[in-house]
Amino acid sequence: MKNKFSGFTLLFLFSFYLNSVQSQDSLKQRIALKEITLDALRIKTPKRIIPFAISHQTFPAAQLGLPQNSLQDYLAAVPGLFAQNTQNFAQDLRLSIRGFGARSGFGIRGIQLIVDGIPETTPDGQGQLDNLPLGIIRSLTVLRGPASTFYGNASGGVLQINTLEDFRDNFVRLRLQGGSFNSNHLAATVGLKNTKTQAIFYQTRTESQGYRDHSEYKQQVFNARVWHEFSSHSKLSGQFNYTHSPYAYDAGGINEPNVQENRKQARSQNESFQTFETVDHLKTGLQWEKKINEKLSWDSYAFYAYRDFVGRLPYEYGGYVDLKRDYYGLGSALEFQPKNHHRMQLRFSLTDQNDHRKRFKNIAGMPGENTLDQEELFFNTALSFLDEFKWDFGLLRLGLRYDHQRMGTQIGSDEVRLNSFNPSIGFTYTNWGNLVMFVSYSSSFETPTLNELSANPSGGSGFNPDLSPSKAHNFEWGWRYGSPQNSIEMTLYAINTQNEILPYELAAFPDQDFYRNTGKTRRMGIELFWEHQKGPWEWNIAYNYASLKFEEYSVGNNNLSGNHLPGVPQQQLTAGLQYDFSEGLGSALQTQYTGAFYADDANQTQIADYFLANIRLWKSFDRLSFFGGINNLFDRAYYDNIRINAFGKRYYEPAPMRNFYLGMNITFL
């Protein structure tokens, strides 16, 4: 059954609800609310008065209501965010925010990922989620729009993740979980603390046969964080992450006749070429926070990461990839507060990336003749300035950032230097009691990644000379309402982009992704969110309607102007309901409607809309807890991922039908 939701209908319902609430409480009456302060926009500011569209969620330490299978489980109530590829662990979760990131063939692209204050996104804009310690995520913040003033390259949106750090006593927690497709998940979390030092250690081991043929995977993640307070004004923290994934097989995309024949089958070419990846990833970082005096504070960070990746792709020439990646960075911020209502911040950062990329012929999964051997470099330096004024009636935020990039290979003619200035301005009016209104402008830029530049359609070495950075300008207007029981937000946005980058395939190089600029796009949309908490009840609704279209785009003799951007649904609606019974019993229902969207730039193939429901149940005793859940409760046939512009219309990666999981937690104090 196809369900259609009208953005105007939902807007009317939200407006009606707001008016009914306001009729009970005067606009001039201020209700004492629990204030949440966020630092996703660099200067710590209460969430309700931030003049940009932002979402924030927290999670209980035990996470009994979450299967910990994918980061998507933590992002269900974020309007404007679309997640795919939760089951293909060779390609990783693919996220898009207002269309940014939709083109990514694997991992996160066009969205900045920050984990515990340290960048997870590489300087060239590529991020991955395979090393995330899902079991200890405590909160996440999503900045839903271009934000290069704050984070530089590839900041069409920002995803900031913070792991567990607040706990009262030493503890050891074990989690054992099993489920469909011979999946099993074992995890251990240890928390230690004394007067000035505390630490969290987390180890997990996950493996599964996968829903489709040729989709099994195995992974181990170790994560450690340590904090030490030298004094009430000085704190040092360190983190270490090591991920080992010996195999994650890729079943590949298939066409519609293959789906109808057997939705579990892998593409035959993926099996014959033994497509899978092997990953070893190491990351370590340090942060120091220092309050110099009442008006001046300083914080800095430094990190280093190493990634050893071997991938087998479903074609012979260059289909065996061996990538060694080193990247590091450092940054420092000086914040000055000359008056109580005025804060300024000066920030400097430097990042450097070195990719040693080798390609060989893929001979049934084994390396053959070498076809590419090149060093790829990406270096970035940035300087930014933020200024914030806060008055009784509102808050004004100003920002400007300068970025300088240098990228190239060992071939001297490949070197490219880019400079980018990105301003932002936002104002929130706060003199209407529990209702605030904001308006803002921000921009972003996005360079091609080294992987995209090295995908040269000429077939030779070096970079694709025809690929250019993209630029986006974002305008927002919105309001928020907050009370002890309700939180409501509406945001309208309009985004203009130039040189959008999208993937395509060529008949001469089947199965290999190339990239091209698309001219201009025009994106407009509305995002709505409502959360209600009363006693044991908690529910939330998130809705977005998006019109994302090419404004100027031609491929050969085909004029595609006016077409919709592929890979992004026009509408999404999620609704969650949770009830906590007495004596540690709880249950939750999460539903999701995803509207239709296109699989190709030409808009010739449309992916049908679908509706999903997941149910969770848990029971806690003193130190022992049991939990379980059913995913895709109504056994809907839908697609876990769509491969945009895939040659031969091999767009489809079918998603699992109804499946389940069961598990238990044991806590030792």
Convert the pLDDT of each residue in 167-195 to its tens digit. Answer: 889 999 999 999 999 999 999 999 999 98
Find out whether 282 and 305 touch, Cβ atoms under 8 Å.
yes
Q: Which of 118, 116, 114, 121 is nearest to 136 (CA)?
A: 116
pLDDT at site 459: 64
pLDDT at site 255: 94
Find out whether 188 and 135 touch, Cβ atoms under 8 Å.
no
Find out whether 478 and 437 touch, Cβ atoms under 8 Å.
yes
Q: Above 90 in pLDDT, residue 511?
A: no
Average pLDDT of the chain to the nearest whole number: 89
Task: Give 515's contacts (C-beta < 8 A, 6+ positions apart).
Answer: 103, 448, 452, 455, 464, 467, 501, 502, 503, 504
| pLDDT: which is higher, 501 or 105 | 501
Mean pLDDT of 319-327: 95
pLDDT band at residue 16 under the 50/70/90 scheme: very low
Q: State how many domains the chain has.
A: 1
Is 630 among the domain residues? Answer: yes
358-375 pLDDT per residue, tens: 999 999 999 999 998 989
Is 525 among the domain residues? Answer: yes
451-468 pLDDT per residue, tens: 788 777 766 667 777 788
Among the listed ranges 135-144, 214-223, 428-437, 516-525, which one has the minimum average pLDDT value?
516-525
Whether the model pTM is above 0.75: yes
pLDDT at site 507: 67
Mean pLDDT of 657-665: 96
Q: What is the DSSP secondary-structure string of 466-533? A: T---EEEEEEEEEEEEE-SSEEEEEEEEEEEEES-EEEEEETTEEEEEEEEE--EEEEEEEEEEEEEE
Is 481 among the domain residues? Answer: yes
Find out whether 184 and 157 touch, Cβ atoms under 8 Å.
no
pLDDT at site 499: 86
Find out whether 105 and 503 touch, Cβ atoms under 8 Å.
yes
Pairing of strands 276-291, 112-115: unpaired
Is 2 among the domain residues? Answer: no
Whichever domain contains 89, its CATH number is 2.40.170.20
Structure tokens belonging to residue 431: 């003199």
pLDDT at site 74: 93
pLDDT at site 5: 43
> Above pLDDT 70, what percent of the chain?
93
Among the listed ranges 32-46, 241-255, 413-427, which one has the minimum average pLDDT value?
32-46
**From residue 346, how far is each of 20, 73, 123, 297 by CA, in Å?**
44, 36, 20, 11
Q: Above 90 in pLDDT, residue 625?
A: yes
Q: Above 80 in pLDDT, residue 22?
A: no
Find out whether 642 and 653 touch, Cβ atoms under 8 Å.
yes
Is 1 among the domain residues? Answer: no
| DSSP designation for 564 | B
Range of the domain at 545: 7-668
pLDDT at site 8: 41
- Per mean pLDDT, which of 7-16, 501-510, 548-557 is the most reliable? 548-557
> Above pLDDT 90, what percent of the chain?
73
**From residue 152, how far is each of 113, 404, 408, 565, 643 by CA, in Å?**
12, 10, 19, 24, 28
Q: Above 50 in pLDDT, residue 26?
A: no
Is 291 among the domain residues? Answer: yes
Find out whether 442 and 151 touch, Cβ atoms under 8 Å.
no
Cα angle for residues 618, 576, 609 (degrees, 5° grid): 120
Is 226 among the domain residues? Answer: yes
